[in-house]
Amino acid sequence: MNNFEITMKTAFALCVLVAVAVCNAQDTYNPQFDNFNAEEVAGNIRLLKNYGKCFLDQGPCTAEGSDFKRVIPEALQTTCGKCTPKQRVLIRTVVNAFKTKLPDIWEALVQKHDPQGIYKASFDEFLSSQDCVHCEMKSFLVLCAVVALVIAEEKYTTNNDDFDIEALIVNVPELKNFNTCFVNDTNCNDVSSDFKRNLPEAVREACAKCTDVQKHIFRRYLEGLQEKLPQQFEEFRKKFDPEGIYLEPLKAALAKA
């Protein structure tokens, strides 16, 4: 397995983590609750009292009140475990309004849903804590950035970046040997074998992972081969680009190197 394959597997694993994080975010209460105007309810005693009576089965419920009433027991028992960060902020706002403005209703709610005080400590801790509403999105963006950096940083090894390409071009027999190695897997030495290892991918991907030095070497190699050994250049083309779809983009990518 080469370095690129390892890197891509790592990048894929990170992408899976991103997907898992996004999917887990969907295991929450209905996100429409995020738009509930908790500040309006907390600031309006009459409205707050009506919600309290709904929750205590002492008065009618609005559609939103019925939805909230249905999830109150689970939210209490799990310390709002399925709430989105924004929902946790909204619940703290409403609960603290009950506790400070309508303590009798709050105590009645406590007696209804937690008469033995089993969840009091954990829920009090929840009420006193804070959440980052945008943390999930930030985490998502950070993971995506890591994936992008992993992929962006991947380059071929620079072991032969000091290779004297101009000396090869003027040495036509050796230039032919290099091409024979690339095309027919014969007459290979350590340097040509190293270049050959990444050659098919470099052609297909327009040398996307080449360093600037490697792009220069590749450009001059193709120019020298086409000028001095046109028949061998044609063999190279047939080997690595038989359908004629890669060389032109490759040349364009190498033009400024």
In a domain, 130, yes or no: yes
* pLDDT at residue number 138: 59
The least confident of 13-27, 156-170, 183-197 is 13-27
Inform me whether the pLDDT recorded for 205 exceeds 80: yes
Same domain, 107 and 180: no
In a domain, 158, yes or no: no
**What is the Cα–Cα distance from 171 to 82, expressed in whole angstroms?**
71
Residue 1 belongs to a domain: no
Distance, C-alpha 112 to centroid of its chain? 44
Q: Are residues 178 and 56 located together in one domain of the fold?
A: no
Pair 108, 60 in one domain: yes
Q: What percent of the chain has pLDDT over 90?
A: 61
Residues 159-172 as b or e (16 or more Cβ within 10 Å = b): eeeebebeebbeee
Residue 129 banded pLDDT, cuts 50, 70, 90 = confident
Q: Which of 49-53, 103-107, 127-131, 218-222 has the lowest mean pLDDT?
A: 127-131
Range of the domain at 218: 165-254
Please indicate, yes or no, whether the overall pTM of this predicted structure exceeds 0.75: no
CB 253 within 8 A of CB 215: yes
Instruction: Please tell me whether residue 127 adopts helix, strand or coil conformation.
Output: helix
Taking each helix axis as running N to C, give the angle between helix 120-128 and helix 85-101, from 0 to 180 degrees, rounded to the nearest 10: 110
What CATH number corresponds to the domain at position 116?
1.10.2080.10
Query: Of 97, 120, 137, which residue sits at a domain end?
Result: 137
- Mean pLDDT calculated for residue range 227-235: 96
* Whole-number Å distance between alpha carbons of 199 and 222: 12
Higher pLDDT pick, 145 / 63: 63
- Alpha helices (H) in the chain, listed in sequence order: 3-25, 38-42, 45-55, 63-77, 85-101, 103-113, 120-128, 135-153, 165-170, 172-184, 190-204, 212-228, 230-240, 247-254
Are 65 and 119 in the same domain? yes
How many structural domains comprise the chain? 2
